[in-house]
């Protein structure tokens, strides 16, 4: 995979993804709804060594729908969400697709935590849809 670049709204946080994604998808969990201020969050999960971030970030930890800890990193100046890390997936960082310079580069292959999906959100035909996070691997 060619490296992907991204960053926050104000430009103080920048990152490079240099690893192939483990998965990319749309998460409909309540935590992502609150954390994004939207109906869902679009994420591309990559191995932690494949992500390099420059600029200061702030983090916030909460309990995700899984009942396990989830930590989010965001820009302390503009508030843009940059990454999330779930304790159930050690060594994996979920990059917020909307912060990529070219969000079209992420192929979102599945919808997860659909049990929390808002009724007016349509899952595209042929996309994998799971009530929770499916087993990886």
> pLDDT truncated to tens, each residue of the chain (137 aa)?
679 999 999 999 999 999 999 999 999 988 889 888 999 999 999 999 999 999 999 999 988 777 778 899 999 999 999 999 988 889 999 999 999 999 999 988 899 899 999 999 999 888 888 888 777 65
Domains parsed from the chain with CATH numbers: 4-119 (2.170.150.70)
C-alpha 69 chain-centroid distance = 15
Nearest to 44 by CA among 112, 80, 113, 95: 95
Residue 136: predicted pLDDT: 66
Residues in a beta bridge with 63 = 69
Q: What is the pTM of this model?
A: 0.89
């Amino acid at each position: 995979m060619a490296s992907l670049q991204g960053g926050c709204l104000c430009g103080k946080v920048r990152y490079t993804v240099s690893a192939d994604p483990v998965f990319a998808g749309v998460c409909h969990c309540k935590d992502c709804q609150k954390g994004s201020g939207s109906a869902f969050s679009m994420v591309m999960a990559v191995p932690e060594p494949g992500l390099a971030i420059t600029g200061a970030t702030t983090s916030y930890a909460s309990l995700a729908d899984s009942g396990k800890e989830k930590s989010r990193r965001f820009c302390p100046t503009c508030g843009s969400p940059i990454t999330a890390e779930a304790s159930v997936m050690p060594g994996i960082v979920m990059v917020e697709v909307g912060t990529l310079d070219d969000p079209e580069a992420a192929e979102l292959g599945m919808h997860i935590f659909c049990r929390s999906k808002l009724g007016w959100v349509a899952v595209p035909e042929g996309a994998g849809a799971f009530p929770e996070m499916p087993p990886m691997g």
